[in-house]
Structure 1
Amino acid sequence: MSEPLRIEIMQRETIRPSSPTPLALRSLKLSLLDQFMPISHITLVLFYPGNGNDTDHLGKAKETSLRLKTSLSEALTLFYPFAGRLRDNSSIECDDHGAEYIEARIHCIFSDILRKPETEVLKQLLPAAIDDQVITARDSQLLVQASFFDCGGLAIGVKLSHKIADAATLASFIMCWAATARCSSTEAIISPVFMGASIFPQMDLPIPMLPVDLIQGEPVLKRFVFEAPKISALRAKAISASVPNPTRVESVTALIWKCAMSASRSNLGVPRKAVLSLDVNIRKRLVPALPDNYGGNFQFARR
């Protein structure tokens, strides 16, 4: 389905932490890695199919939305920088400003989207309150959109400022939020640790806070689906003396890059310089290694 979704915004609300942030934690210094991170958002969309036996979709949506907001408020108490605001590219003002929560109704069938996901359609399930190109220090760092489908399905779109978190930190937050929403007394919730500036001290450099446009011209985004047996065969084919045990990511990335370079030479008639960059989680690569609950940006571009 390539046509726009029929989206109805039901409400917008600011969700603040359930408990106020202690005064000692009201200002969090950015690390050097945070400072150099361009202004952008990490995005994620989670899909939850509806219960076929439940016919009261409207009532269920209200109940679920309330649980999402309540648990989000509780999770923000632990991930307090997410409810703060940037200040001069040097720190987060953890003032309990809050996260933006948007509730929407999607007038289509859940399976129509998942049957063949399209990028432009999936973008409509993300919070659209802030354009990445006009983010300011006073904007919310975390935005959530809960989209309820007519059939009872649910999509939760998340946008989190890349200035204060990487993908691993976002994953930790999602797990914490989910555990809080389930109200499980047996499920341990690991508190995050925000002390990146003590590991990578910030520098007094004229580092701009403006968005960085790294792409010249119109970007092209494609989705490729590789079946598990094909990836296994590709890994076996990619084995070499220098890479005796290639990972799935390395094997697939190498194939796509090889094809892209071949297409570039074919179109231009001559080879041109190009750079492939993959972000790597360096928590386990540091000495000593850091636990997964260390929040912030702990990633490095591998080229």
Structure 2
Amino acid sequence: MMIVNMLWPQVHTIVSQELIKPSSPTPSHFQTYNLSCLSRYISHEYIPLILLYPNDEHSSLINKAQVLKKSLSYSLTHCYPFAGRLHKPNAPYIDCNDEGVVFVEAKHDTPLQHLINEDDTCSQLFPHGMVWKNAPHKTNVLGVQLNYFGCGGIALAVSMSHKVGDGCTLGSFVTYWASVARYGSVDHKQVLAFSPHFIQSPPDTTSFPSEYNQRCDNIVTRKFVFPNSKLIDLKNKVLECGSTLSITNFTLFEALSSLLYKTLVVARSSTCKTSLLVVPMNIRNKLVPKLPPTSVGNFLASMLVTTKFSSEASLSMILSEIRKERMKVKRIQSLQLACQHAESQLSRLTNEEFENHVSKRTFWCSSLCGFPFYKVDFGWGKPEVASITFGSSCDLGFMLMDTSNGDGIEVRATLETQDMEIFQKDQEMLSFCEMCN
């Protein structure tokens, strides 16, 4: 099947498509996986991870595909829900029926270097309809597409339903899968130790609030890189600005997210638009007892910051609000409290007062800094580019990841065109970063 994409001028051909099943069948007593109460609040959308590998002359493309399929089959025996299907898109459980993970192979006529230079994460690199909110009727939990380029390079695209897990879940699974591929067996002594921790909630037919939706058109994504030296300058500036509020103990992420949101609010100030920032936070190590990093699910709590006027958008004021929200999250020590917090925050997102602001926008600021995506080695080296973006969804905001060399933070900003035009010219923000595209 040959496909021509008019937005991204290239031709790509689907070479094959098959289902990869676990190497061992899932035991009958594991064939229903009840999602945790937190995962039931998450909409069924696919998190798209893309890993770009340059040409490796030591192994053929056919061999790479065989290695990936075989190791994926082995890995699925440890993460049995990934090979199953959601009973329906918003179902509170997964049928662990070993139906398999869709695995697509595709050829592209565009050089891999084009993607590296342009930071293009076009949806055609992923299994059809498995990028964020493009597939409301799909029930697959995981999908993979191996993309071949004429230069010999490859792009491995992995889509995981957000219903089954968050970025931490995806990172843990892909890292383990790569380890199995690199050493050829789950029993090899150097294969990464992996004990996925599954937490299920009792069966429940409760109707959870529907997801928060917003309409937006003319979306554009730009990449900005903040070197470590500039981030230290930013932290010092925040310390100076926040002296009157006694803001001292804050992270680089909090400082950077405050700068990004401040810049955005100022960019939107000409029309006095209401903005709301949502900052998800991993709470695995906040619960008592702590959950291991390999816990499968959505163990997130959101911090919310609302602004209605640009006068509310100073670095110190925004950072102060983020700190207040963070203290609320720190008090969450059980899944029950986390679920209560999620319900409360969702209510804030959809309350009538906020809905009355017709020009409002909700923005996300998610961080995957510290995640091992740039270390994912299937046996042909580490990726030159690792990326998760907002893609074609209407989730506006910022995705933060480590740079490939570890010297800073890479931010992918997805905004409406009119906001981006002002945002990307902000002199204060630009003094701390480089705009790459």
TM-score by length of 2: 0.61
Q: 1:124 to 1:238 in 2, by over 3 A?
A: farther
The higher relative CO (CA closer than 8 Å, separation ≥ 6) is in 1
Task: Give the whole-Å Cα distance in 2 for the aligned partners of 1:247 and 1:10.
Answer: 46
Letter in 1 for 2:263: C
Aligned to 1:4: 9
Q: Is the 8 A contact 2:143 2:158 kept in 1?
A: yes
**Structure 2: gaps spanning 5 or more residues:** 1-6, 305-437
SS for the counterpart of 2:197 is: coil
Q: Which residue of 1 aligns with 2:119?
A: 117
1:248 to 243, 252, 263: 252
Change (3 A) 1:169 1:67: same
Instruction: Report the equivalent of 1:230.
Output: 230
Match in the other structure for 1:295: 296
C-alpha distance in structure 1 between counterparts of 2:287 and 2:111, whole Å: 46
Against the structure 1 CA distance between its residues 225 and 32, is the aligned structure 2 distance closer, same or farther, given a 3 Å change threshold? same
**Counterpart mapping for 1:11-90 below 5 A:** 11-51=16-56, 53=57, 60-87=60-87, 89-90=91-92
Q: Which amino acid aligns with 2:115?
A: I
* Identity within the alignment, %: 33
Whether contact under 8 Å (1:196, 1:295) holds in the other structure is no
Of Structure 1 and Structure 2, which has the larger fraction of its residues in strand? 2
Spell out the pairing of 1:264-303 with structure 2 (5 A cutoff): 264-266=268-270, 268=271, 271-303=272-304
How far apart are the structure 2 equivalents of 1:117 and 1:124? 14
After superposition, the C-alpha distances for 1:129-174 in whole angstroms (9 at most, x for unaligned) are 44734433x6321110111111111111111111111111001100
- Residue number in structure 2 paired with 1:91: 93
Q: Determine helix, strand or coil for the equivalent of 1:28.
A: strand
Give the Å deviation of 1:6: 2.4
Q: Is the 8 A contact 1:166 1:297 kept in 2?
A: yes
Letter in 1 for 2:103: Y
Deviation, structure 1 residue 25: 0.8
State the AA in 1 paired with 2:261.
W
Q: What's the offset of the Cα at 1:227?
A: 2.6
Distance 1:139 1:85, change over 3 A: same
SS in 2 for 1:189: coil
Q: Distance in 1 between the 2:189 and 2:54 partners?
A: 25
What do residues 203-249 of structure 1 show as CA deviations (whole Å, max 9, x unaligned)? 542237x7x46222226342322233222211221223543143232
1:227 and 1:187 map into 2 onto residues whose CA distance is 33
When structure 1 is superposed on structure 2, of 217-226 and 179-188 the one drifting more is 217-226
1:19 to partner: Cα distance: 0.5
Query: What's the CA shift for 1:63?
Result: 0.6
SS at match of 1:284: coil
CA contact (8 A) 1:38 1:163 kept: yes
RMSD: 2.2
TM superposition shift of 1:5: 3.2
Q: Distance in 1 between matches of 2:232 and 2:203?
A: 43
Q: Which residue of 2 aligns with 1:160?
A: 160
Task: Give the match for residue 127 of structure 2.
Answer: 127
How many residues in Structure 1 have an aligned counterpart in Structure 2? Answer: 286
Report the TM-score when normalising by structure 1: 0.87
Whether 2:214 is the aligned partner of 1:215: answer: yes
Taking the aligned partners of 1:228 and 1:91, their CA distance within structure 2 comes to 42
Local SS of the residue matching 1:289: coil
Q: How much does 1:22 deviate? A: 0.8
